[in-house]
Amino acid sequence: MKKRVLVASNRGPVSYEFGADGTLTGRRGGGGLVAGVAEGLAAMTPEAEVSWICAALSDADRAAAHTRAPEEPGAVPVRMLDIPPEIFDRAYNNVANCVLWFVQHLLFDTPNQPRFGREFHRDWAAYRVYNEAFADAMADEAVGTSAGVRVLIQDYHLSLAPRLLRDRLGGQAAEVGIAHFSHTPWAPPDYYRMLPAEVGEAVLDGMLGADHVGFHARRWAAAFLDCCEVILGARVNRSGGDPGPVGRVVHRGKVTEVAVHPLGVDAPALRARARAGDVRAHVTALRRAAGDRKLIVRVDRTELSKNVVRGLTAYRELLATRPEWHGRVVHLAFAYPSREAVPEYRAYTEQVRQIAAEITAEFRTPLWNPLILEVKDDYPRSLAACAVADVLLVNPIRDGMNLVAQEGPVLSERGCALVLSREAGAAATLDGDALLVNPYDVSETAVALHRGLAMPDAERRRRTEALAATAAASPPALWLGAQLASLDP
Ligand code: G6P
């Protein structure tokens, strides 16, 4: 009998748009979570009956949720939840993105933020309602199926859902395996306990409703175990293993396994995508624009944690301190729009544009444009940029994993030096061949950019091959398969 697998995440694998005539068209949803889960599922679909529960994110999605909009043949069936807009806005923007994301990435400007007052408690109540909507849908899908159901709940939007689902399943819970996976880092207890006590406890208790809790890197799993011990007073056993289980938490009489599952890339599929005509056309155009100059590339969402402003400042310092690169390097910075409903993100995008304009004004000559900033989402162009990069800059303040750091070496055509923040989860596996930097240290980052540009070709190619092999060693199918295997009785 086929296994039944349920996936739950805020953003689903498809998002809809209204055409001019009012018809709905679907297109693939964005982000590393969606890509990783979708590719992992594609590899196992023949042996499993899969469905994916997600939130409707727009009016077109809401319409699609009610009209059974057409799906691509062979696509995973998607159940979109039409959560009332006000509840969704409070849960997604105010709690998930403006509080939980900020906590896990250590993003607060603490003299001013956060301030947990009455308004926040209303937001928190909405977050609970949002999680309940997911738990209801999951229970509805799971109840009554005879084969053991495996439920894979994704990320900080759904931290309460594992416990809420377990409660709803009652006696059937023993036959259902529940896993939760965090694509973010996890904060140390001293920072985490900035959350109001009942909120910090509810998040941990909610996740511990799962049988298995996963993270991309050992550091994040260890911090989670620390929080369970310090904040909840739960019994914690730590063990070896990475990848694999790194500990167990006993809480309210239930044991939850905590494990590390690094997510890399499906290298053959990525390389095949990069051979398509649209990517090739961008490769040609970018090479023509660069001429014989070297290219420093970055590809990110315009996201506070991605540290785009310090990255640009480091490039400015490189040009200011090493005039030998004038006219010989171009920085291609792709920072595609993200979470534009959040004022901090809009202000950050403006800051990115501003500093880019300053760098251009300071160094541009009639024959040389030192910086190309593109604030738009263009996937084929991003792949092309990775293919032609001589240096790839990935300098997040903190990051659960980071896929670009892994995709870049896989896509690289002539070898690229990877300047990588030591605070990215990916640094745990790529540290041997990347140039690691402290993301706050602009001068160190500028020196690393210089080292990357000056690196001999043979060394750059050797390091790129090693980085690509590491990234390819944890493809999505393996990542997802390991989580499902951990739920087997
Ligand atoms: C990160 C999170 C994902 C999220 C993605 C894009 O990768 O871990 O859960 O989907 O960012 O963010 P968005 O808010 O646009 O879905």
pLDDT 10s digits, 231-266: 999 999 999 888 999 999 999 999 999 999 999 999
Q: What range defines the domain where residue 366 resides?
A: 267-472
> 363 with 253, same domain?
no
The one-letter code for the residue type at 145 is T
Residue pLDDT, tens place only, 416-457: 999 999 999 999 999 999 999 999 999 999 999 999 999 999
Q: Can you name the residues that pair with 391 across neighbouring β-strands? A: 296, 417
Whether 210 has a pLDDT exceeding 80, the answer reads yes
CATH of the domain at 185: 3.40.50.2000
> 372 with 445, same domain?
yes
> 242 with 298, same domain?
no
Output the CA 34–ligand 1 centroid distance in Å: 8
Output the CA 392–ligand 1 centroid distance in Å: 22
Whether ligand 1 lies within 6 angstroms of the CB of 184 is answered as yes
pLDDT confidence bin for 70, thresholds 50/70/90: low
> 402 with 368, same domain?
yes
Output the CA 89–ligand 1 centroid distance in Å: 15
Output the CA 4–ligand 1 centroid distance in Å: 25
Whether ligand 1 lies within 6 angstroms of the CB of 390 is answered as no
> 429 with 293, same domain?
yes
> 279 with 227, same domain?
no
The one-letter code for the residue type at 242 is D
> 8 with 40, same domain?
yes
> 466 with 338, same domain?
yes
Nearest atom in ligand 1 to the alpha carbon of residue 182 is: 8
Residue pLDDT, tens place only, 10-35: 999 999 999 999 899 888 777 788 98
**Which has more confidence, 415 or 74?**
415
> 87 with 204, same domain?
yes
Tell me, rounded to whole angstroms, the distance of Cα 115 from its chain centroid.
26
**Rounded Cα–Cα distance for residues 144 and 131 (Å):** 22
Q: For a substitution probing ligand 1, which of 338, 399, 407 has the most ligand atoms within 8 Å of its CB?
A: 338
Instruction: Say how many domains are in the chain.
Output: 2
Q: For a substitution probing ligand 1, which of 183, 299, 303 has the most ligand atoms within 8 Å of its CB?
A: 183
> 438: burial class by Cβ within 10 Å (0-12, 13-18, 19+)?
middle
> 257 with 271, same domain?
no
> 248 with 278, same domain?
no
The SS3 call for residue 51 is strand
**What are the angstrom distances between the C-alpha of 195 and each of 102, 129, 220, 231, 342?**
11, 19, 18, 11, 20
Q: What is the pLDDT of residue 148?
A: 84
Whether ligand 1 lies within 6 angstroms of the CB of 338 is answered as yes
> 211 with 160, same domain?
yes
Which residue spans within 243-384 are E strands per DSSP? 244-251, 254-260, 294-301, 329-336, 371-374
The one-letter code for the residue type at 308 is V
Residue pLDDT, tens place only, 376-388: 989 999 999 999 9
pLDDT confidence bin for 341, thresholds 50/70/90: very high
pLDDT confidence bin for 75, thresholds 50/70/90: confident
